[in-house]
Each structure stands twice: as C-alpha cells, then as structure tokens.
Chains A and B, each alone.
Chain A
Amino acid sequence: MALGAVFVGLFIFALWTVGLVGSSSISSALRLTVPIGFAAMGGIFAEKAGVINIGLEGLLIIGAFGAIASLYALSVTPIGASIWLAFAFAVVASTVVALLFAIVCIEFKADQIIAGLAVWLIALGFAPFASYIIWDQTNSPSVGSFSAWAIPGLSDLPVIGGLFVATPPVILLIIAVPVSWYLLNRTTFGMWIEASGEDPKSLDTAGVDVRKVRYAGVLLSGVYCGIGGAGMALTVGQFVGSGDTMMDGRGFIGLTAYLIGNYNPIAAFFASFLFAGLEALQIQVQQIAGFDVSSRLIGIIPYVTVLVVLAFVGKTQMPSSAGDHYESDD
C-alpha cells in the first residue's frame, strides 16, 4: 500500500527526470505540495494518536490568515515586517485552534468528525470576517513574501540545479518528511502515539497517560498545518478569503493523501506530491499550443487520479481505536 504510493510518486518523478518537463516544473510541484503535504503529516499524528482530525483545512486557513495578518501588523510596529516572526505567529495561532479542538474532543468527548467539521466552518467564516475588519475587504493586499534560497554548490549544477533553489517552506517540507517518519517509527514517543490509537488500554496499563499523548498528537497537527498554511500564504504574499478561501480544499486533499499513504509520512508525502505534480502537469498541458480541450476537463485530472488511486491502490489500515474516546479506569 505505502509502497504503491511511493511507486506512483517515483513514476511521476521518473517521468520528469527523462525530460518530459524541466526542473522548474518539479520546483513548482514542490511548492504546490507544501500545504497538502504538511496537512497530511499533521493528520497522521492526530489520527495515529486516536483523534480523527478532519479540520485540517480549517487549520491551514488559520495558518495562512495568521501569517499574513501578523506580517501586516508587524509592518506597522517598530519590529518591522519580519517574515519569520509572522510565520511563527501563524504556527502558534493554528496550534491554539488545534488545542481547542483537542479539548473539545478529549475533555468533553465530542464527536471528532463533527468537531473537525466545526473547525473548518469556523475558520472559513472567521478568516474572511477578520480580514474584513483589518483590511475592509475579504482579500488582503500583497504584504511581502519569502524569497527563494539557493543551496550553495548544488544550485550551480547543470540541469537539476534549479531544484536546489527553493523557497523556505519547500525546504522545511523536505526536512519534515523524514523527521516525521523517524519520530513515528523509531522513537518512544512514536510508539506511544501508535499505541494510543491502536490499543489505548495497553498504553494506559504501561503507565502512560493516554490523554497527554492524544493532546500531543492533535497539537502536532496544528503545528504542521500552521507551517503548511503560513508557508503557502507567505509564498504568494497575500491572503484571499473570498469563496472557499485560497486553501480551496487543499486540506481535504491532504487528508486523502495520508489515507493513500496509509499513515506513513513518506508515502503521504509522495501521494501529496502526486496530486501537486499532476496539478503542475495539467497547467502545462493547458498551454500546449493547438491542444484544444476545455481547461475544466484538464483541471479535473488530478482529482480523478487521486480518487482512482485511493480506490484501487491497496487497503488503508485505520488505527483500530481512532475516533473512540478513551476513559481511563482509575
């Protein structure tokens, strides 16, 4: 299953390396992967710990809005428009919302699906509303963005050099994927997360507080989504709150991505990259001269592919106690 997603990801990668599309398309696909990939990894931590978080989209929106609003606010203070500080504020904002979600789910035993839906709906209403208060309109002006970093040495390589000129959120993503995998599979904390979602009773018997582990899982999903949302907004330099907001369902794609990746951060990353890659590809296909097919038809390719992959590639193994409340006996 996880292997399947890895293979699909590698296939796309191989398609590119043989020269169908240049390295700029891979960079573009990686930038498009940022919100999806971070949402997917965040979702893994929460769900593995036993709390299904379908509010990822909402947390991304809070991250994006938080980043732009803080950057805008900072620019009028003596501190100045520090992008990294705004980035940090956004992560805190998203984590605070995730904390509220965790309290509702763990302390008050709310239905996780409904509470997750509420997180999304609240963010969907709150962010444009707050934008309206700050800027008198649902969309922010352009406030500044990350500039790309060139990795010394590697970025001078021929052909693939372009891959090593990346925006900071992309670099963070590339670092976060193996780190998340290590955290989940090779550390005690990872074992606890796993046990909390699979068999909380055993974890409790072993003397570990299940509540705390679940809190940690949900809070991590807030941190990841904060990074994803802020990373996306600070790449384009503005927040758009009209319609479905600038997130436009990317959090839900992230949710699908980790299901395709069967809760493995690396496979989830490849699934996210598959979607983003197809998105970048469909943009290219639209521009082929003389290829006269409606952009609406081409635009659904990524979605259809993800659905097909989700339906036919292996079986997703949900943590057995995900979605269940845990009441300690003592």
Chain B
Amino acid sequence: MERRTFLTSVGVGATAGMAGCLVDNGDGDDEADVTVGIVYSTGGLGDESFNDMAYSGIEDAESDFDIDYQDAEPDTVADMNDMQRQFAGDEDIDLVCCIGFDHETDLIENADEFDDQRFVIIDAVVDADNVDSYVFREHEGSFQVGHLAGLLTETEYAHAGGETNPDDSIVGFVGGEETSLIERFEAGYIAGAEYVDDSIETPSAYAGSWDDPSTGQEIANGMYEDGADVVYHSAGGTGGGVFESAQSYERFAIGVDDDQSLSAEESSDVIVASMIKRVDNAVYDSIESVVEDEFEGGDTNDLGLEEDGVDAVIGQDFEDDLPDDIVNALEDSRQQIIDGDIDVPDNLDDL
C-alpha cells in the first residue's frame, strides 16, 4: 500500500508540476518556415516585465513572419540546461532564444555541442560562432529614471495616486537577486539621483528572490516609512509588492523592463515612469535575421539610449502632467549621455 501510494503521489505531483512547462504555441500547421524555441528565465511569464517583453517580441514576430514557436518556462536555473538541449537537439527548430543571463554557463557548452543549431542569448555575451548576443546598457536608462526620482524628491509634486514628502530627500532601490547585472541598474539609478543633488539618500536592498512580492513590499514599506518619495525596482515578480506598498503610502514607484503603467495597470496611479529595456526588439530582430537568412552568429549587440535599446518612459497617468522643467532636464541628460558628456557608471565601485 505504502509503495503504491508513493508511486501514485509522486506521479500525480510530477504530472501536475510539468503541466505548465512545455507548451507548443503553434497554430497547428507544421508548414511554418521557421520554428523558434524560446526558454525564458526563472521569473516566468507574467512577471509583467522582462519575460513578458520577450514574449511580446516573439508574438510580434509571429504576426509579421511565417513562424511557429515553442516555449519553456524553467522553475529553477537548473532546469535551463535540459530545456536548451531539448530545443537545440530538435531538428524542426531553427533558432533557440535564451532569455536571461542565467543561461550563459549552460549555453557555452550547448553551443559547442550543438554547433549546427543557432542560438540567441539576451543579457549575456557568449562567444561562439553560432550565438548572437544582445546586451543592454541598463545603467543609462536607470540613470534617467534616477535623475527623474532625484528631481521629484526635491520638488513638491502630487498627482494621481501619490504625492512627494517635502521634508526628506530619499529615493530607494529594490533589487531581486544581487548580480552584476542588477547592480548595473542600481549604480545607474544612484548616479542619476546624485546627479541632481549629492545629498539625496539612496537606500537600496535586495529581496533575494524574483518571486517574493511580500519581501518586496516590506522593503518598500520601510523605505517609504523613512520618507522615500520614489522607489525603483528591478526585481521581476517581487516588484508587485513595491507597487502595492507605493499605493498604500501614496508615494511613487518606478517600473522596469517594460512600461509597467500598462502591464501592471492596476498600479498605474503610482508608477511615475518605467525603465524600459527593449527585449522585445532584440527577440524580434534575432528572429527576423533567421527568417531573412541573415543570421551570422558571433555578433554582440550592445544597446543603450542611443540605439533605443533602453529608455525611460513616463507612466500613462503622468504623461503631460510632469512639470516642464523636469521633462526638459530629463531630455537634456538623455542627450548628454548619448553625446558622452555624462559618464554613467555600470557598477557600484565606480559611483
């Protein structure tokens, strides 16, 4: 009895666990010219930022070209290797998109082993003939939103669901896991705030997870409690807690990766801006290169403000309402970054 119960339990558990993993999103016909396999990062679809951006890129490509795709959502970094290999070894698949820097180590080996497969990696550089890499200068976009946060905390401003606290000049940052990539967001943001005024306090903390909105909420609660006017998150699903906190304290928050005033619409009354990262364009471009038969491999695309790879977009409830001097100052700093007059640090040591 025990043995049978064990087998049944594990079987049911494993089946339920796998159910959401591998989904064929093709429209059923096998005649598409190009089939793409896409492996997301652990935040998963519905993070309302990074992975959803990749998803919208592939959706756009699907509507513009004759392609078919399969996708896989790893629960842990350890799942990525299997998913990469499964797609790489599938003869029907013409391109494997690896979304996120966690894919890097596995892809170095798999790109070598599956040398007739084409790969794309977002957020990391893999030096191989059959891999195109896309990286972003997130610190440039983060500098812009940091600049905005710094200007806001020094101004008395109230609109939609939030208002600034004129007594303190504090802007906070909440990260997911502390990696050099996320530190780039943090460094750019802090540099942007300090560009306004060196005396602005910039507390930052990491939740240690991309999936833990409760911890994100408690971190932001503490920051707003201390008098922060704006909190910027770069924490995937954890960021939902930051918005919830901003709403309860009636202060402002800044989203990340896509325009979160649209994707997390319920919180648009506090999302004053978002640092968008055009992961969708990167995915779209890479698929286009395969469709057009122009995939070269071995390229590294480094995308910043100048290439429209990153940008600070104002939230939908705040467009046309931010004071003109703030909007103009942002436009100035943007141009100065592009012209190289402002040197944005990409790590915390260079701050």
Q: Across the two chains, which residue of chain A brings its CB closest to B349?
A: A292
Chain A CB within 8 A of B47 CB: yes
Give the distance to chain A from B322, nearest Cβ to Cβ, in Å.
Answer: 24
A106-114, A197-205, A211-219, A309-317: which lies at the interface? A106-114
Chain B CB within 8 A of A115 CB: yes
Contact present for B13 and A121 (CB under 8 Å): yes
Contact present for A240 and B211 (CB under 8 Å): yes
Interface residues of A in 110-152 (CB under 8 A from B): 110-111, 114-115, 117-118, 121-122, 124-126, 128-129, 131-132, 135-143, 145, 147-148
- Within the complex, which residue of B9, B43, B208, B225 is in contact with A242, where a contact is CB–CB below 8 Å? B43
Given the complex of chains A and B, what is the CA–CA distance between A125 and B34 in angstroms?
31
Chain A CB within 8 A of B178 CB: yes
Q: Which residues of B contact A25 (CB under 8 A)?
A: 222
Q: Which residues of A contact B76 (CB under 8 A)?
A: 243
Give the distance to chain B from A273, nearest Cβ to Cβ, in Å.
Answer: 14
Given the complex of chains A and B, what is the CA–CA distance between A148 and B219 in angstroms?
17
Given the complex of chains A and B, what is the CA–CA distance between A232 and B213 in angstroms?
10
Q: Which residues of A contact B48 (CB under 8 A)?
A: 139, 141
Q: Per-position contact with B for A276-302: 1 when CB-CB < 8 Å, else 0?
A: 000110011011010010111001000
Chain B CB within 8 A of A272 CB: no
Q: Across the two chains, which residue of chain B brings its CB closest to A139?
A: B46
Write the residues of chain A forming the contact surface with B, with a CB cutoff of 8 angstroms.
Answer: 22, 24-25, 28, 31-32, 104, 108-111, 114-115, 117-118, 121-122, 124-126, 128-129, 131-132, 135-143, 145, 147-148, 232, 235-238, 240-246, 248, 279-280, 283-284, 286-287, 289, 292, 294-296, 299
- Within the complex, which residue of A114, A238, A295 is in contact with B240, where a contact is CB–CB below 8 Å? A238
Q: Across the two chains, which residue of chain A brings its CB closest to B47?
A: A139
The 5 closest A-B CB pairs, nearest first, are: A137-B46, A242-B44, A121-B13, A118-B9, A125-B17
Given the complex of chains A and B, what is the CA–CA distance between A296 and B47 in angstroms?
22
Contact present for B12 and A142 (CB under 8 Å): no
Contact present for A142 and B243 (CB under 8 Å): yes
Q: Which residues of A contact B222 (CB under 8 A)?
A: 24-25, 28, 280, 283-284, 287
Q: Across the two chains, which residue of chain A brings its CB closest to B2?
A: A111
Given the complex of chains A and B, what is the CA–CA distance between A104 and B4 in angstroms?
12
- Within the complex, which residue of A122, A248, A287 is in contact with B13, where a contact is CB–CB below 8 Å? A122
- Within the complex, which residue of B6, B16, B217 is in contact with A114, where a contact is CB–CB below 8 Å? B6
Q: Across the two chains, which residue of chain B brings its CB closest to A25?
A: B222
Write the residues of chain B forming the contact surface with A, with a CB cutoff of 8 angstroms.
Answer: 1-2, 5-6, 9-10, 12-20, 42-48, 52, 73, 75-76, 175, 177-178, 201, 203-206, 208-215, 217-219, 221-223, 225, 236-237, 240-241, 243-244, 248, 264-267, 348
Contact present for A289 and B45 (CB under 8 Å): no
Known interface pairs A28-B222, A108-B1, A142-B264; A243-B43 also in contact (CB < 8 Å) = yes
- Within the complex, which residue of A108, A118, A243, A292 is in contact with B44, where a contact is CB–CB below 8 Å? A243
Contact present for A122 and B12 (CB under 8 Å): yes
Known interface pairs A125-B20, A129-B20; A147-B201 also in contact (CB < 8 Å) = no
A-B contacts, 26 listed (Cβ < 8 Å):
A31-B214, A32-B218, A110-B2, A110-B9, A114-B10, A115-B9, A117-B9, A122-B13, A124-B17, A126-B16, A135-B46, A137-B52, A141-B266, A142-B243, A142-B267, A143-B266, A238-B213, A240-B211, A242-B45, A246-B212, A248-B209, A284-B222, A287-B203, A287-B223, A289-B203, A295-B205
Q: Across the two chains, which residue of chain A brings its CB closest to B18?
A: A125
Contact present for A243 and B209 (CB under 8 Å): yes
Contact present for B12 and A111 (CB under 8 Å): no
Q: Determine which residue in A135, A140, A248 has the highest number of CB atoms from chain B within 10 A of its CB, and name it.
A: A248
Contact present for A110 and B1 (CB under 8 Å): yes
Q: Across the two chains, which residue of chain A brings its CB closest to B15?
A: A125
Q: Which residues of A contact B237 (CB under 8 A)?
A: 139, 240, 242-243, 246
Q: Across the two chains, which residue of chain B brings its CB closest to A144?
A: B266
Q: Across the two chains, which residue of chain A brings its CB closest to B3?
A: A111
Give the distance to chain B from A140, nearest Cβ to Cβ, in Å.
Answer: 8
Contact present for B215 and A242 (CB under 8 Å): no
Given the complex of chains A and B, what is the CA–CA distance between A145 and B248 in angstroms?
10
Give the distance to chain B from A8, nearest Cβ to Cβ, in Å.
Answer: 21
- Within the complex, which residue of B6, B204, B210, B214 is in contact with A287, where a contact is CB–CB below 8 Å? B204
Contact present for B244 and A24 (CB under 8 Å): no
- Within the complex, which residue of B2, B52, B211 is in contact with A248, where a contact is CB–CB below 8 Å? B211
Contact present for B10 and A118 (CB under 8 Å): yes
Q: Which residues of A contact B15 (CB under 8 A)?
A: 125
- Within the complex, which residue of B5, B14, B225, B266 is in contact with A115, where a contact is CB–CB below 8 Å? B5
Contact present for A286 and B204 (CB under 8 Å): yes
Q: Across the two chains, which residue of chain A brings its CB closest to B40?
A: A242
- Within the complex, which residue of A114, A117, A240, A295 is in contact with B178, where a contact is CB–CB below 8 Å? A295
Contact present for A236 and B241 (CB under 8 Å): yes
Known interface pairs A236-B214, A296-B178, A299-B206; 13 further A-B residue pairs with C-beta atoms within 8 A, sorted by A's residue number:
A28-B218, A31-B214, A114-B10, A115-B5, A125-B13, A125-B16, A125-B19, A140-B46, A147-B248, A240-B212, A243-B76, A287-B205, A295-B208
Given the complex of chains A and B, what is the CA–CA distance between A137 and B212 in angstroms?
16
Q: Which residues of A contact B223 (CB under 8 A)?
A: 287
Given the complex of chains A and B, what is the CA–CA distance between A244 and B2 in angstroms?
27
Q: Which residues of B contact A237 (CB under 8 A)?
A: 240, 244
